[in-house]
Every structure is written in C-alpha cells, then in structure tokens.
Amino acid sequence: MSRPVERQPPAAPRRPDRRWVVVGWALLLVAAGLQRWAPAPIVERLYSRGLYPWIAALLSLVNEWAGFSLAEAGAILLPPALLFALVWSAVRARRMGVRWGRWLAGTTGRGIAAAGWILFAFSLLWGLNYRRVPLSERLGIPNGGTAEELAATARWLAGELARHAPPTEHRDRPAGHPYPWEELAAKVEDAYEALPVAGEGFPRRLGPAKPVRASGILSRLGLSGIFIPFTGEPNVNRLLPHPSLVAAVAHEKAHQRGITHESEASFAGFLALYQSSDPYLRYCGLLEATGSVLGALARTDPEAFAEVARAIPATARADWARSREFWARYRGPAQRVSRRVNDLYLRVNRVPGGVQSYGAVVDLLVGYYLAKASQEP
C-alpha cells in the first residue's frame, strides 16, 4: 500500500539580494568623501601618477579594439534598456500584488544604490584626478598676471600666430581636413607623448580620439567633444571646421591623460600642439590660445586689443570666421540646456565657476608667457 504524498507548503517568494544595495549606498558615501576631501599630494602621487596611467592604458586596449565609439553605442542602447527594465519591474510588482508605494520606494533605493556604484566607478576610473595638484603648480608657472602682462601675452601669441600661419592654398583639402582622421589622431598622440607634464608614467600609447557619428547632436548641444571615463575614450565632434577640430582633439586627449579641469585641459592641449614638430598643429594650438587671450583683452583693454588685432594674419581671421559661422548655425535652446547641465556637473566636481572655468585658460597662458619670458636673455 503506497503512502500518501505529503504536500509541501508553497515556497515563499525569494527576497531580492539587498547586499548590493547596501554596498551601493556605502560606495556613494565613500566616493563623495574622496571627491571632497582626498588630499591633493596623495592623489597626485598614488593615483594620478601611480594607478591612473595603468587604468587609462587598460581602457585603451579595450576601446582600440572597437572601430567605433563605445560610449556613443552605450548612449544609444542604455536609455531603452533602462526604460525596459523599469517597465518590467513595475509589471512584475503589479502581478505579485506589491503596493505601488512600496515598489516606488524600493526602486528609488535601488536607483540611489546604482548611482553609488556608478559614482565610485567614475572616481576610480578617472574622477579622482579632480583632486590632483593644479597644473600651474606642477609646471611651476604663475597663474595669471596684470592687465599689462595680459596685453604682452596677446602680442607674443599674435606674433607666433603670424609666424606659423599656413598659406590658405596649402591647407585646404576636400572637407577642409589637412589630414585624414587616423593621421590627425596619431599626430596629436605623438605630441602628448613628447609633453612631460602629460606624457610621463603611461605604460603604453593611449587609444585614439573617436569621431562621433551623431555629431549633429553634439553641435546642437554646443559641444566640441566629450570624454567618457567609463570607456576612456576622447569623443570629438567630427563636424567641426579645421583647425577647431584639432584643438578639440587635443583638449579631449588631455582629459584622457588625467587632466580634468577644463582650463587645464585647454592649456595642456595648447602646450602639446605648440610644442609639436608639425607646423600645422602648432598653428592650431596658437589659433585657439590667441582667440582666448584676445577675448579677455577686449574686455580689459580695448585699445590694446585693437593694436594686437591688426597683427592677426588673414588666414587666422578666416578660420575664426568659419568657427563663428559653424556655431551660429546650431544656436538654440538645446545649447542653453547643455550649458546648464555642464555647469552643474563642474560645480558638483568642485570646479570653481562652473562653465566659467573654461575661460581660466587665459591665466595659465599668461603664466606660461611670463615664465617663458623670464628665462630668455
């Protein structure tokens, strides 16, 4: 006679593993604390010159393998994936009879935990460089100067620009590119490898800048490029007119090498291009720097500005005009929103002035000129 089969009570629904949520909240606090209080000398020695060069080299191995921007692919795929996950979670909770308020609270908590993981990864992969020693201190140059010194810097840059400006007939090619993209990216990387302040400590050549296929979106957002720490890729707006494109590549490559602040990245880009062995790259660096300094001089000393402006060669004037026309075509509300978002991002990372910090490159350029002039007989 067979024994009756005992029925087991239904298993309780499996509770989600909350350990990753707790760890995520903890990592959020750790990352926020590091970004706010990590001592600059320790960050400089142990992270920026120790760990980060190896992180950048490892990420370069990955993104070099892809012939496209991994960050751009992620930007396309991630939003619909997140939306699907959110909808699936809501539907599943409804089928299980979970109250709406409880689901919302749980989803919010998991979202904050995910933000903690993301912020910690951001800090580990690149963000701690915001806490490193300022570039002016590492170079031993003063940061800024008087109005007279600003005018002297503008005169020096204008003279260098006139000396390096190429004849227009030797520069123009179809689409306005003197070099194919791969050659341009390689030349800028060569320039950085020869620049001690940005080239030392890296165990290998870093991956190239990537042209963004959806550059029309970047243009409407007012962006010349964007560096993505999670993939280690400098992404550049490929629609930019030359030589703005060259300056944008140099700027984003500076971010890749651990130079986070926008003014410092622009200054490092100038140094890399100006000290390059390629005449056209030198011209591009000088054009960008001269434009920044002249803009500051026009606000502080209009008479000195008018004097220096007369020495600007026609080639440079034409390039500036093309750049203004390019950005005028995309001016609109999207640029204003993008500027506010960028301002918030910079302020969260404790960059004084937010987007106004882009203009601080002028202080570094003045300091560089003063240091250079003091060494000349």
Domain ranges of the chain: 19-131, 137-375
SS (H, E, C) 1-69: CCCCCCCCCCCCCCCCCCHHHHHHHHHHHHHHHHHHHCCHHHHHHHHHHHHHHHHHHHHHHHHHHCCCC
Mean pLDDT value across the chain: 85
Three-state DSSP class for residue 268? helix
Least confident of 9-13, 41-45, 214-218: 9-13
pLDDT score for 12:
44
Least confident of 60-74, 204-218, 239-253: 60-74
pLDDT in tens, 181-231: 899 999 999 999 988 887 778 888 999 999 999 999 999 999 999 999 999
pLDDT in tens, 261-294: 999 999 999 999 999 999 999 999 999 999 999 9
Distance CA 233, CA 217 (A): 18
- Preceding omega of 241 cis (within 30 degrees of 0): no
- Answering whether pTM is above 0.75, one says yes
Given a cut of 90, whether residue 360 has pLDDT beyond it is no
pLDDT in tens, 317-330: 999 999 999 999 98
